């Protein structure tokens, strides 16, 4: 090509770019910024429009009241006092249209009721709500269990699709996805409507049927949120992440279409839902998950050890990490160890497919080390190692009879006997988050040459704030098939190379709108948040590219796309723009949310 040809080409390219820019600016001038409407705005639906929606729902549309409506006239009336008492009960909160299991996050969000709620009894109800929200440019929220730390299950001035009424659980001896008959063999599975919580699912699959399904650890966590976020349970080191077990889903997309998605039908959306969903791709109404063979035993190993000096605590950390790398880094062991500012090491571990005798023998070398150095260490809480038949792990009747201290029962008159929760989750009921961070720690830190670096990082982190290592939330050490399945999800692939998820968090008592008193202690909350930021900074100095689990990520992380989804984010964004080009489904840290203002009402690009 000659010089003249190049010049001509460049001039043509410049002219094309100028023309494109002119057209783009012209269109921008012609089209106002996309804004969703709020009550009182000219475009807000008329009473007649809401009546039409109510008729389509057979009279079930709810005008949402605040969670503490009885306290609006004062806190000294019996109704207000009753509501305040019920806020200690996660089942009660989950059964209120305005209820969220987290009441807010300092300088981030506060729990706020929607204006109206559509309690979805059928998929058709969800379709009606999606079409109404799209037509009237409403802020749309979807809630199942309501446990979102990031505030994804609530928004002020919104329309809520409340999935709680859809809670059916159906077992399959041999399930084949729609359109997959020629490609896949049938496998044991369970289909779950997405208003269900995990405990009834475990009761159906494990207690009554002797199988296992990968779900969450907290009994009141919603099924959909965990699977779409590709979450973890106590035994994920054996069975993998929840999204990995997804075989098929029914989802209402932004155009109001009901789609069946699996590996053979709408496979791009199927892949995106396995870890990239988080309420940003549609309303999922049903999930079908593969079930697995159940082990004979499950058990607990818990207690705490206090070091009498910083040097002794360093040695204790080093002893435990070496013990973990040598003995516990395998599919049998899950849950966590906490490393505290007060030089206490807290064991909160579970084991799988081991008898009580086997588990105690495995732990003996570590406990012998502690016992042999009694001048350096004291038992703050006796270390106990217990096991039970795995089929009774979620058996409410069995646990209540044999280990009543393990559970809290729903005290309300007439509440189902199966309504239980664990005392360890009580602090999360209604909590107001001060700060929360997570980081996947690569298994390379367990190599002998790097254990010293890991130990010093953990000690230095704990000087700012306690850090918990959740071994079941990192899949390194899991069976090859579990790791391979996780690589087929939309989650950051770093999860497959991490031995644990480090979590650093803090919160205060419930701070729902309308609560009597001065409200949350914002000075304390911000002080805690600053300490947590310093603590995660220590970890990121050692592992600068560490990923984060999206459901337990920092609210304010500017790198959330990379940390939560890694190399998968561009592909996720392409799926989002195909199925929801106008951003009807917008949640914080949800795919495509960078196109919207923080409140989800104004499109930025």
pLDDT digits (tens, 9 = 90+) for 164-179: 999 999 999 999 999 9
Q: What is the CA radius of gyration of the chain?
A: 25
DSSP letters for 67-89:
TTGGGTT-SSSHHHHHHHHHTT-
Task: Work out whether the CA dihedral 462, 466, 471, 476 comes out positive or negative.
Answer: negative
What is the enclosing helix (H) or strand (E) of 500? Answer: strand 498-508
Strand partners, 299: 351, 387
SS3 state at 4: helix
CA distances in angstroms from 401 to 206, 393, 406, 603, listed in the order given:
18, 13, 10, 55
Q: Within the chain, what is the greatest distance between any pair of CA atoms?
A: 90
Residue 492 in tokens: 């950051």
* Average pLDDT for the chain: 93
Amino acid 279: pLDDT: 87
pLDDT at residue 315 greater than cutoff 90: yes
Tens-digit pLDDT profile for residues 253-300: 999 999 999 999 999 999 999 999 778 999 999 999 999 999 999 999
414-424 pLDDT tens trace: 999 889 999 98
State mean pLDDT over 137-160. Answer: 97
Residue 205 has what DSSP assignment? I
Query: What are the start-end ranges of the H helices in 147-246?
Result: 198-202, 223-228, 236-239
Q: Choose the most confident range, by mean pLDDT, from 3-7, 118-122, 517-521.
A: 118-122
Q: Which two tokens stand for residue 199?
A: 């405990």
Q: Is 382 exposed, middle or buried (0-12, 13-18, 19+ CB in 10 A)?
A: exposed
pLDDT band for 10, please (50, 70, 90 cuts). very low
What token pair was written down for 185? 């063999």
Confidence (pLDDT) at 417: 87
Encode pLDDT of 391-434 as tens digits: 999 999 999 999 888 899 999 999 998 899 999 899 999 999 99
**DSSP class of 196:** -
Q: What is the DSSP string of 411-430?
A: -STT--TT-EE-GGGGGGTT
CB atoms within 10 A of CB 84: 17
**Token couple for 40:** 């009182």
Q: CA triplet 351, 357, 360: central angle to 5 degrees? A: 65
CA–CA distances in Å: residue 509 to residues 410, 428, 437, 537? 20, 9, 19, 26
Q: How far apart are CA 260 and CA 285, in angstroms?
A: 10
| pLDDT tens digit sequence for 342-354 | 999 999 999 999 9
Extract the tokens encoding 20. Answer: 């494109």
pLDDT over 90 (residue 19): no
Beta strands in 7-87 (DSSP E): 62-63
Query: What CA–CA distance (Å, rounded) separates 130 from 150?
Result: 22
Query: Using 50, 70 and 90 to split pLDDT, how confident is the model at 207?
Result: very high
Residue 603 Cα to chain centre, angstroms = 26
In the chain the first and final C-alpha atoms are separated, in Å, by 39
Task: Say if residue 28's pLDDT is above 70.
Answer: no
Which residue, 215, 218, 264, is CA-closest to 243? 215
- C-alpha span between 390 and 206 (Å, rounded): 8
Reported pTM: 0.92
Q: Which burial class, exposed, middle or buried, applies to 514 when counting CB atoms under 10 A from its CB (0-12, 13-18, 19+)? A: middle
Give per-residue pLDDT as tens, 544-600. Answer: 999 999 999 999 999 999 999 999 999 999 999 999 999 999 999 999 999 999 999
Phi, psi of 287 (to 5 degrees): -125, 140
- DSSP β-ladder status, 431-442 and 102-105: parallel
pLDDT band at 132 (very low <50, low <70, confident <90, very high): very high
Q: Are 98 and 67 in contact (CB under 8 A)?
A: yes
**Structural domains of the chain ordered from first start:** 56-163 (3.30.43.10), 169-293 (3.30.465.10), 296-393 (3.30.70.100)
pLDDT tens, residue by residue, 35-87: 999 999 999 999 999 999 999 999 999 999 999 999 988 888 999 999 999 99
């Amino acid at each position: 090509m000659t010089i003249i040809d190049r010049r001509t080409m460049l001039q043509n390219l410049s002219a094309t770019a100028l023309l494109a820019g002119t057209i783009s600016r012209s269109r921008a001038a012609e089209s106002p910024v996309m804004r969703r409407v709020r009550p009182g705005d000219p475009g807000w639906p008329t009473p007649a429009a809401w009546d039409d929606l109510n008729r389509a729902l057979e009279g079930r549309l709810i005008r949402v009241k605040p969670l503490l409506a009885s306290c609006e006239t004062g806190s000294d009336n019996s109704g207000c006092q009753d509501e305040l008492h019920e806020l200690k009960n996660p089942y009660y909160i989950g059964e209120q249209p305005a209820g969220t299991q987290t009441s807010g996050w300092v300088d981030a969000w506060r729990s706020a009721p929607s204006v109206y709620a559509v309690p979805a009894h059928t998929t058709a109800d969800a379709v009606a709500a999606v079409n109404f929200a799209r037509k009237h440019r409403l802020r749309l929220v979807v809630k199942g269990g309501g446990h979102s730390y990031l505030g994804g299950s609530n928004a002020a001035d919104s329309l809520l699709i409340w999935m709680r009424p859809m809670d059916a659980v159906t077992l399959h001896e041999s399930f084949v996805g729609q359109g997959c008959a020629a490609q896949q063999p049938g496998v044991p599975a369970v289909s779950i409507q997405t208003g269900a919580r995990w405990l009834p699912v475990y009761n159906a699959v494990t207690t009554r049927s002797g199988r296992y399904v990968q779900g969450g650890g907290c009994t009141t966590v919603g099924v959909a949120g965990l699977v779409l976020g590709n979450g973890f349970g106590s035994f994920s080191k054996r069975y993998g992440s929840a999204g990995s077990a997804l075989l098929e889903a029914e989802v209402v997309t932004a155009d109001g279409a009901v789609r069946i998605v699996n590996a053979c039908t709408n496979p791009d959306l199927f892949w995106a839902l396995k870890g990239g969903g988080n309420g940003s791709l549609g309303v999922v109404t049903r999930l079908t998950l593969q079930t697995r063979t159940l082990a004979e035993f499950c058990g607990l190993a818990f207690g705490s050890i206090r070091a009498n000096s910083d040097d002794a605590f360093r040695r204790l950390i080093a002893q435990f990490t070496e013990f973990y790398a040598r003995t516990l880094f395998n599919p049998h062991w899950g849950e966590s160890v906490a490393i505290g500012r007060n030089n206490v090491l807290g064991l909160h571990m579970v084991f799988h497919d081991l008898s009580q005798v086997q588990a105690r023998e495995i732990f003996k070398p570590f406990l012998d080390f502690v016992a042999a150095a009694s001048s350096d260490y004291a038992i703050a809480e006796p270390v106990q190692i217990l096991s039970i038949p795995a089929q009774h792990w979620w058996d409410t009747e069995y646990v209540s009879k044999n280990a009543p201290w393990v559970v809290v029962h729903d005290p309300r008159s007439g509440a189902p006997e199966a309504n239980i929760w664990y005392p360890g989750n009580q602090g999360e009921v209604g909590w107001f988050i001060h700060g929360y961070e997570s980081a996947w720690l690569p298994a390379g830190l367990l190599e002998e040459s790097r254990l010293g670096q890991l130990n010093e990082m953990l000690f230095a982190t704990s000087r700012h704030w306690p850090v918990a290592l959740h071994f079941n939330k990192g899949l390194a050490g899991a069976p090859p098939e579990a790791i391979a399945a996780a690589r087929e999800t939309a989650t950051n692939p770093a999860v497959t190379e991490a031995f644990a998820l480090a979590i650093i968090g803090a919160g205060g008592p419930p701070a729902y709108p309308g609560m009597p008193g001065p409200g949350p202690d914002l000075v304390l909350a911000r002080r805690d948040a600053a300490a947590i930021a310093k603590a995660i900074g220590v970890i990121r100095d050692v592992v600068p590219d560490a990923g984060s689990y999206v459901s337990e990520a920092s609210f304010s992380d500017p790198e959330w796309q990379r940390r939560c989804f890694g190399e998968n984010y561009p592909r996720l964004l392409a799926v989002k723009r195909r199925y929801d080009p106008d951003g009807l489904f917008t949640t914080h840290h949800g795919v495509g949310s960078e196109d919207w203002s923080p409140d989800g009402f104004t499109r930025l690009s």
